[in-house]
Amino acid sequence: MNRYYIGLATTFHDPAVAIVGPTGEILFAEAIERYVQSKRALNCDPFMRMPALLREHCDADGEFIVATTWSQPFTLLLTAAYVAGFFSLRTLRSVGSQVNRTLLEDDDELAYGSFLHCMQTSAGLGVLIGVQEAFGHSRVSIRRFPHHLTHAAHACYTSPFSEAVCLVADGMGELGSMALYRYEDGLLHTLWRRWGRESLGFLYSLITDLCGYDWRLGEEWKVMGLAPHGEFDPELYNLFRRIYRVERGMLRFASRSVIRETVAELRKRARKPDSSPLTAGNMAFVGQQVFSEIMLSILTHLDRAGISKNLALAGGCALNSSFNGTVLSQTHFTQLYVPCAPGDDGNAVGAALLAYRQDHPYQHTPRPFQTPYLGSALSAEALGRIARFCGSSRVRHMPGEIHRRAAQLLAQGKLLGWIQGRAEFGPRALGNRSILADPRRHDIKDLINTRVKFRESFRPFAPSILHEHGPAFLEHYQESPYMERVLHFRKDAAGRVPGVVHVDGTGRLQTVKREWNSRFHDLISAFHEITGVPLVLNTSFNIMGRPIVHSVEDVMGMFYTAGLDALVVEDYLAEK
């Protein structure tokens, strides 16, 4: 009887489901926001998808292990708090003396705890119902794993490393915000966990709020894009420094009273409602600098410990691509790995892989590359509907030629939707659910922001570059398969591709290799042959505030309501 491992990330925001097969292969992984088309899908359980997913990826007579992302002790604590009738900070203080040092208000803590209880006490129920509905039996059991351990498992078990040190940093996982692990011989060893509310993720949430954005919607991205438009402000910097210090590689917050007093001062400098985002440029610049200094202090201390020269980063803080690009140049680590989904959605994969490793403790084979293309594909029936919807006269089927025609359209300045194969797992579009454009155009950023994405003008776009040409375009080039780090363009190359060069001369790049994504590689290669430029502008196929498209209806709806000129879905081309 084959055994399947169903990983569930159900920690309020960014829920996801993953399926690991009997041999340890990741068969499926996708955030729930894609299916429900609601950004971050707060508190959504994947139960509605389970019967179809199980039928597609699993054997009918299989056994199913549900793996979740909260430990058993913490789940019991949530239940006890629920029974007691309240989730306020005074409930959680009994667990640790540092719990009251938070940057969240008590009402937020109450709501957050209630959500956690709802999600965790019901975790696995949807799988049980799904197995019963799909296969008519109930061979389902559940295993619970610590939150930060699932982060580390996703990073280390999908990395190319045989040994590494893994730092997990996020907002809050169970009752801590940071943990350190040693990865060796296929096993994860906990070195320390940082308990309490002294959280780098919370601090960046405060920065996001001060810049006029909502951390609940994951708008930290906007702070990173806005930061280069600002400059250093010593008054702001000194205010932030009152909140925290770093001692021996540990982040420590000031007292609650100092935090409240300082935050009140910072709010006097916060962006005013309806004002230009650029008025918060200095706040974003200083906030990003503070984040980077804290992370660098922690990593420098870790570097000196000499545990490993291979570093894996996980947790929500590992989504800070602006900092990630500086790690190797500012430390003695020789290799950095950040998984395709370092946030809470990635914990679905981490939990499933932990459950698999429990049953196969001595099976260890480093992966040269973990594909991020683990999500849903458009069905053949859905593809047929495209021709019927558009009208056969405006849709062409071009197998073997589609990449050349797409490259020609890009070279002509057209804005192109590009849908191929299975969707990417994680927050980035990596060439399967992308909007593409010619990076040579000086006006292309404004054109896409106003006609297609409907987002702020300061936000940059990413370059997807053929690996072999990376060193010619980027200083200190590093492979970046998941668009997880920002690097500086060479001055002589930046002028050739202004559409993907941010105001500070950087780009959040994606490395493209044929063996990773042959169709995307073919397209960029064809564009290179036409233009002499081995990269394209790549941004996610969505509009601001919405998840990346999931169904053919999502795709066609955006194609006809946004300013795209052409759409490629597999081998089909539709033009307006």
Q: Which CA distances in Å does 214 have to 42, 205, 217, 510?
A: 14, 8, 6, 27
What is the per-residue burial (b if ≥16 Cβ within 10 Å, else e) of 363-382?
eeeeeeebbbbbbbebeeee
- The model's pLDDT over 86-137, given as tens digits with 9 standing for 90+, comes to 544 444 444 333 333 345 444 455 555 555 656 666 778 888 888 999 999 8
d(CA 179, CA 190) in angstroms, rounded, equals 8
Q: In what order do the strands lie in the sheet with 462-466?
A: 395-397, 572-575, 566-569, 416-419, 433-437, 535-540, 462-466, 506-512, 485-488
Torsion of CA 278, 282, 284, 289, to 10 degrees: 150
Q: Per residue, what are the HEC states of 318-355?
A: HHCHHHHCCHHHHCCCCEEECCCCCCHHHHHHHHHHHH
Please give the pLDDT value at position 94: 40
574: helix, strand or coil: strand
Kindly report the CATH number that applies to the domain delimited by 3-70+123-158+345-359: 3.30.420.140
- Residue 99 has which token pair? 């719990």
Cβ contact 15:120 at 8 Å:
no
Range with the poorest average pLDDT among 41-45, 237-241, 470-474, 545-549: 41-45
User: pLDDT higher for 380 or 410?
Assistant: 410
163-337 under CATH 3.20.20.150, yes or no: no
The pLDDT, as a whole number, for residue 83 is 62
Tokens for 204, please give them: 């960046």
Position 71 scores a pLDDT of 85
Mean pLDDT to the nearest integer, 379-408:
83
Closest CA to 423 of 569, 321, 537: 569
pLDDT at residue 87, rounded to an integer: 47
Range with the lowest mean pLDDT among 169-178, 288-297, 327-336, 471-480? Answer: 169-178
Backbone angles phi and psi of 564, in degrees to 5: -75, 145
Mean pLDDT of the chain: 90
* Number of alpha carbons in the 13 Å side-chain half-sphere of residue 284: 25
Q: Give the up-direction half-sphere exposure of residue 65: CA atoms within 13 A in the CB hemisphere.
A: 23
Q: What percentage of the chain exceeds 90 in pLDDT?
A: 74
Handedness of CA 401, 406, 411, 414 (dihedral sign): positive
CA distances from 477 to 249, 296, 322, 510, 565 (A): 28, 20, 14, 11, 33
Residue 219 pLDDT exceeds 60: yes
- What pLDDT, on a 0 to 100 scale, did the predictor assign at position 81? 64
pLDDT attached to residue 115 = 59
What digits encode the pLDDT tens for the residues 68-81? 988 888 777 777 76
How high is the pLDDT of residue 113? 57
* Lowest-confidence segment of 30-44, 64-78, 352-366, 512-526 by average pLDDT: 64-78
d(CA 420, CA 375) in angstroms, rounded, equals: 11
DSSP 85: T
In terms of pLDDT, which residue wins out, 235 or 248?
235
The answer to whether residue 237 scores a pLDDT higher than 70 is yes
Give start-end residues of each CATH 3.30.420.40 domain in the chain: 163-337
Between CA 220 and CA 427 the distance in angstroms is 13
Q: What is the pLDDT, as a whole number, of residue 70?
A: 84
Quick check: helix, strand or coil at residue 543?
Answer: coil
DSSP single-letter state for residue 449? I
DSSP state of 474: B
Structure tokens at 159: 């990395």
**How many angstroms separate the CA atoms of 516 and 160, rounded?**
14
Q: State how far the Cα of 203 lies from the Cα of 199, in Å rounded to an integer.
A: 6
Asked if CATH classification 3.90.870.20 holds for the domain at 380-575, the reply, yes or no, is: yes
Write out the residue limits of the CATH 3.30.420.140 domain(s) in the chain: 3-70+123-158+345-359
Query: What average pLDDT does range 316-335 have in this prediction?
Result: 97
Contact at 8 Å (CB) between 414 and 536?
A: no
Average pLDDT over residues 149-167: 97
Kindly state the average pLDDT of the residues 486-508.
Answer: 98
Delimiting residues of CATH 3.90.870.20 domain(s) in the chain: 380-575
